[in-house]
Amino acid sequence: MTQGTDSDRLSGDGLDARPFDGDAFEGGAALLHRRAIPSLFEALETQSEGTVAVDRDARVVWINAKYARMLGIADPAEAIGREVEEIIPHSQMRQVLATGQPILLDLMLFGTQRLVVTRFPLTDDDGAVIGAVGFVLYDSLHRLKPLLAELSRLEAELAATKRRLDEGRQPRYTLQSYVGDSPVCLEVKRKARLAARTDAPILLLGETGTGKELIAQAIHGLSARSGRSFVGVNVAAIPETLLEAEFFGAVPGAYTGLDRRGREGRFKTANGGTLFLDEIGDMPLGLQAKLLRALQEQEIEPLGSDRPVKVDVRVIAATNVDLEQRIRDGRFRSDLYYRLNVLPIRLPALAEMGGGLEAIAESILQEIAARTGLPLRGLTPEAVEALGRHRWPGNVRELRNVLERACLLTDNRRLTAADLAEALPDLGDVELAETARPAPVQQLVQAESQPLPGYDAAFDEFERGLLGRALAASGGRATEAARALGISRAAFYKKLARLGMRAGG
């Protein structure tokens, strides 16, 4: 059999007509490689806006006429032998020569133009860099408009997502959000301000619904970390099998189903800021040891990694259970308890608020009106009394629920004890006591002989007389008058202002 020509070996028919020959295949591939390189160069040189080649010392050895005209050079021969930066000031060809690595796509400034360029090293048979070649792919960015528009859109989406994440990690509450001026409330605020001055761990104690996360956010907002992230996590809400990765992160492949990028973990997310651990009493014992190490060493070890990672996180923990009892039961580590319990802050239950309950209820009613668009409601004295008689096991959450339900069930501008009893049946005994209170016969006779006033006017007159009597009995001192009526000083002043009255007058 006669040996075929190079063209026969490269043709499809030739390859199909004879059995596979390894030597022939390698020879054909080498020939294809030799012929492809000049073809590719010619195609790039023809389609591009300019081409330049330099030697290993970055001196120009060739430049096409198109590129020379763009650079203001009449004769391409004038550029030969000159250093490339002399004719192309922002050229990166010398970097390609130094690194031996191509710069596949780049923007190069030339005057007021931005040129889209690509650069490749040229090597000898031993792989040594002997020069470089560069192509100006486009002399105007308008050809890249679809690509640039998509890039701009993706960058805008990324920036918006980052803003939303950052906003979501900023505290929503301040210390002013914690309503109440009773002694127990003022003590909570005093300790919160003290806690904000340091980075020591804080332990918030109190029943559910007493505002522990609100106080945690307030402490963060008053601290030097206020500009960084506030990250809250409910320990009881995360499955035990995921807790370690959720807190400390995980490296890629640490367990089946994990994202190939791994998991950052809440400690890393809160780095530089505050980590709020709610319901800390429900944390498994094994994880408590890792949390203790993180607090003591300020470092974490992601799941699946043997390299500790330094973090700077201030921890605020909260619980509604008796941690000391859990220590006795063997369910909570005593060393972790003492590490967390540097500055404990106990939040009072709603039933302990005393006269401050009315101010909290009024604040909630304002919030309900703003959020729902319903009219702003007030409370009758009997309604305030009814609120004070209830135990409020759900604390502020329960109070908010009852008040919002009452606002939906009645059109009264001031919620009565009966309105509250309809929203919360446990208050029914107060409603009965209010409605069963008999009026003196003389008052009934006088009432029948006079025109019936409107409800609001009659109530304002009653309240004006009541406040006036309280001020008279206290010598015009509003604080004492408010205390005698069982309402807060702020509520007392609001009522005075609404009725056009003044303390001492």
Task: Please state whether the predicted TM-score (pTM) of the whole model is above 0.75.
Answer: no
Look at residue 400 in the predicted model and tell me its pLDDT: 93
Sheet with 274-278, strands from edge to edge, namely 230-234, 274-278, 314-319, 202-205, 343-346
Largest Cα–Cα separation, the chain = 137
pLDDT at 147 over 70: no
**Overall average pLDDT of the 162-177 stretch:** 65
Exposure b/e, 387-396, CB count within 10 A at least 16 = b: bbebebeebb
Count of alpha carbons within 13 angstroms of residue 52, beta-carbon side: 28
Q: What structural domains and CATH numbers belong to the chain?
A: 6-143 (3.30.450.20), 187-348 (3.40.50.300), 352-437 (1.10.8.60), 446-505 (1.10.10)
Phi and psi of 131, rounded to 5°? 170, -170
Look at residue 171 in the predicted model and tell me its pLDDT: 63
pLDDT at 423 over 50: yes
Look at residue 492 in the predicted model and tell me its pLDDT: 80
Residue bearing tokens 């972790």: 336
pLDDT in tens, 325-369: 999 999 999 999 999 999 999 999 988 887 778 889 999 999 999
Helix (H), strand (E) at residue 274:
strand 274-278
Complete DSSP assignment for 275-333: EEEETGGGS-HHHHHHHHHHHHHSEE--BT--S-EE---EEEEEESS-HHHHHHTTSS-
| Residue in 115, 98, 95 with CA at minimum distance from that of residue 107 | 115
How many whole angstroms separate alpha carbon 158 and alpha carbon 135?
32
**Overall average pLDDT of the 303-308 stretch:** 84
| Other CB atoms within 10 A of residue 432 CB | 13
Look at residue 444 in the predicted model and tell me its pLDDT: 43
pLDDT in tens, 45-66: 666 788 899 999 999 998 988 8
**Overall average pLDDT of the 75-87 stretch:** 91
Look at residue 432 in the predicted model and tell me its pLDDT: 40
Percent of the chain with pLDDT over 90: 39
Q: Could you give the 3-state DSSP secondary structure of residue 233?
A: strand
Tallying the residues shown for the chain, one arrives at 505
pLDDT at 316 over 70: yes
**Average pLDDT of every residue of the chain:** 80
Look at residue 495 in the predicted model and tell me its pLDDT: 82
Pick from 140-144, 279-283, 480-484: least confident: 140-144
**Overall average pLDDT of the 462-489 stretch:** 81
Q: In this structure, are strands 202-205 and 299-300 parallel, antiparallel, or unpaired?
A: unpaired
Give the Cα-Cα-Cα angle 472, 179, 388 (nearest 5 degrees): 65
pLDDT at 44 over 70: no
Look at residue 474 in the predicted model and tell me its pLDDT: 80
Look at residue 11 in the predicted model and tell me its pLDDT: 40
Query: Between these two residues, 459 and 409, which has the higher pLDDT value?
Result: 409
